[in-house]
Chains A and B, each alone.
Chain A
Amino acid sequence: MAKYMILIYGDAQQWEGMSQEQRQAHDAAHAAFSAAAASKILGGEELELSPMATTLRSDPDDRVVTTDGPFLETKEAVGGFYLLEAADLDEVIGLASQLPEVHASHSGVEIRPVVDHG
C-alpha cells in the first residue's frame, strides 16, 4: 500500500458562482466518492478559496515577506485535497475519476505519490 495526495485544482470564481442545485450535485458527488473510497481516505478538506490565501516568502536579506493571495497567481488554484491509501496508481486513478472536479471544464485533480520515509 502507498499514500497518495489528490490535489483538487480549479477556478475559484467558477466554484463561487455555482448555483444551489450545482452545489448540491457537487456535494453529492463528493459523498459518493467518500463512500466508494471509504477507509482508503486518510484525510481530506475543502479549502477556502484562493483569494483567502496568504503567501510567505523571503527577500534577499532573508526577511519574511507576507503577501495576499496564493503562491502562484494562476486562474486555477488548489481548492481542496484528499489523502488516500491505495495499492497502486490505477486504483487511485479509478477512484479519483469519480470526483466532480474531474468532470467540470475549469477544474481537474493532480495525483501525487507521498514520499515514504518508513
Chain B
Amino acid sequence: MSDEVVAAVAQAHRQEWAHVLATTAHLTRDLDLAEECTQDAYVQALQTWTQTGIPDRPGGWLTTVARNRALNALRRESVLRRALPLLVPDEALSGPEDGLVDDDRLRLVFTCCHPALSRDAQVALTLRLLCGLSTAEVARAFLVPDSTMAARITRAKRKIVTARIPYRVPSPDHLAERVNAVLEVVYLIFTTGHTAPIGAQLVRRDLVESAMSLARMLHLLMPGDEEISALLALLLLIHARLDSRLSPNGRLLLLAEQDRTRWDTRLIREGIGLLTGALHRRPPTRYAVEAAIAAVHAEAPTWQDTDWPEIVALYDVLLQYWPSPVAELNRAVAIGLRDGPQEGLDALTPLLNEPALATYGYLSAARADFLRQLQQWTRAAQAYQEALTLTDNDVERAFLNGRLREIQNHLRKRRTTRATDTEPHG
C-alpha cells in the first residue's frame, strides 16, 4: 500500500474517528460494537483505498462501511442482543431553537463526560472513543498499566448502559454545567500533554492534538457558546508557543528565553480573534480570563515588554471568581516579575503552608528561581533539590539540574574565597 493511502487513513483517523464512531453508536446503541465496526472500517480503508483510490469524502466512506458492518452484526446477533442492556437513545431531538447542531459527536461527548462518571473515566472514555487513541496509548498518557486502563474503560462503559446514562445532548437548563464538565476534560488532556508528568518527552503531542481537535469540534458544533470559544482561544495561544519551548539541543526554554519569532502567529491571531468576542461577556468566563493572560504574553514583542501589571490584574479577576492555590501561585510569580524577586518570594511564602501545593513542583521551582536571583545560593539549592523530587519529566529534570549545578559552582567559589580570605589569619 502506498504512503499516500497510509497518510490519508491517518488523517481520516484524526479528523473523522469521532464522527464515524458516534454515528455508528447511535445505530448500534452499543459502544463496544460501534468501536469494533469503526476499527474495522479503518482497516478496510487501508486495503480498499490502495485498490480503488482515496474517496472524495473519506469520512462518508468510513461511516458507510462502519454502519454496514454494524447492520450485519445486528442481524446476526439480534436474538442474543435482546438480552443486553443498550444505550438509551435520544428520543427528544434537540431542535434548532437550542442553537445546537443535531450531531452524534455531541451526544457522544456529553455521554463520555457525564458527571455520573469519575473524572478519570471521563478522560479515558473521551480519549478512547472521541479521539480514537488505543487503550495502551491512554494508559501511557496517565501512567497506569494497560490492564488498569482497560478495566477503567470497561467499567465506565458498563456504567453507561447499566445506570442508563442517556446518549443525548443535555437540556438547555443543564447545558452550561455539562459543557463545563466537558471543557474540564479537554483542558486536563491538554495540560497533561503540554508537560508530560513523566518520561523523556516534554510534550505529548498526541494528547495536545487530541485536546485541540476536541476544542475545535466543540466550537464548530456549538459556535455560540462563549466558554467553548474562550477555551479554544486559550489552547491556541498556548499551542502557538509549543515549538519554541525546546532549544535545538533539547533544553527546556523558559518563556523569558524563547525565540518569539518561532511562535505561530497564525494561531495567535485566531486565538485573539476568538477571545475578543468571549471577553465581552460580563462577568467573564474562567477560560476567557486565562486566555486573556496567555494573550498578554503572546502580544508582548519581548520578555522585557511583558505587561506584568496587566497580568497581575487578570490573576486578581481569576482569584475573585475562581480562587485556587495554583492561580495564587501564578499571581505571586507575576508580582515577582512586576516588582522584583524579593517581592515575589514574599508573595510565595504564605503558599508554603497550602496543602494542595505540598507536592506541586512549580512552587519549589518558582521559589528557587527568585532565591537564585537574590543570590541566596544555599536556600536556592535546597529549593531546586525539592523541585527535582517533584517531577519525573526528563526535560524538566535536566533543566533543574542545570540550574542546581550553576548554584553549586557559586557555593564552591564562595567557599574558596572564604578559605583564601581566612588564610593569612589561619
Interface centre among A2, A88, A111, A116 (most CB of B within 10 A): A88
Contact B162 A90 (CB under 8 A): no
**With the chains together, A36 CA to B170 CA distance in Å?**
20
Q: Are A113 and B164 in contact (CB under 8 A)?
A: yes
A113 to B88, CA, bound (A): 14
Q: Are the CB atoms of B163 and A87 closer together than 8 Å?
A: no
Q: Within residues 79 to 97 of chain A, which ones have a CB less than 8 A from any CB in chain B?
A: 87-90, 93
Question: Shortest distance in angstroms between A39's beta carbon and chain B's nearest beta carbon?
Answer: 19
* A74 → B minimal CB distance (Å): 21
The 27 sampled A-B contact pairs (Cβ below 8 Å) are A2-B164, A87-B88, A87-B91, A87-B164, A87-B166, A88-B88, A88-B164, A88-B165, A88-B166, A88-B168, A89-B114, A89-B116, A89-B163, A89-B164, A89-B165, A89-B166, A90-B165, A90-B166, A90-B168, A90-B170, A90-B174, A93-B116, A111-B163, A113-B162, A113-B163, A113-B164, A116-B85
Q: How far is the CB of A108 from chain B (nearest CB, A)?
A: 14
Closest residue of chain A to B91, judged by CB? A87
Chain A residues proximal to chain B, CB less than 8 Å: 2, 87-90, 93, 111, 113, 116
Give the size range of B's interface with the partner: 10 to 19
**For residue B116, which residue of chain A has the nearest CB?**
A89
Residues in A with CB closer than 8 Å to B163 are 89, 111, 113
The count of A-to-B residue pairs whose CB atoms sit within 8 angstroms is: 27
User: Which chain B residues border A93 with CB–CB below 8 Å?
Assistant: 116
A91 to chain B, nearest CB (A): 8
Apart from A89-B165, A90-B174, A113-B162, 16 more pairs, CB < 8 Å: A87-B164, A87-B166, A88-B88, A88-B165, A88-B166, A89-B116, A89-B163, A89-B164, A89-B166, A90-B165, A90-B166, A90-B170, A93-B116, A111-B163, A113-B163, A116-B85
Docked complex: B155-169 residues within 8 A CB-CB of A = 162-166, 168
Complexed CA–CA distance, A73 and B174 (Å):
36
Q: Which residue of A lies closest to B114 (CB)?
A: A89
Question: Which of chain A's residues have a CB closer than 8 A to the CB of B165?
Answer: 88-90
In the assembled complex, the Cα of A89 lies from the Cα of B85 at a distance in Å of: 14
Q: Which residue of A lies closest to B164 (CB)?
A: A88
- Cα A93 to Cα B165 in complex, Å, equals 10
Q: Which residues on B sit within 8 Å (CB–CB) of A2? A: 164
What mask results when residues 225 to 255 of chain B are scored 1 for a CB within 8 Å of chain A, else 0?
0000000000000000000000000000000
A41 to B151 CA separation, bound complex (whole angstroms): 35
- Find the residue from B91, B163, B166 having the highest chain A CB count within 10 A: B163
A2 to B91, CA, bound (A): 15
Nearest chain A CB to B89's CB is how many angstroms away? 10
Q: Please, which residue of chain B has its CB at the minimum distance from the CB of A116?
A: B85
Enumerate chain A residues within 8 angstroms of B166, measured Cβ to Cβ: 87-90
Smallest CB gap from B165: residue in A: A89
Q: Which of B91, B116, B170 has the most A CB atoms < 10 Å from its CB?
A: B116
Chain B nearest Cβ from A3, distance in angstroms: 10
* Residues on B with beta carbons closer than 8 Å to the beta carbon of A111: 163
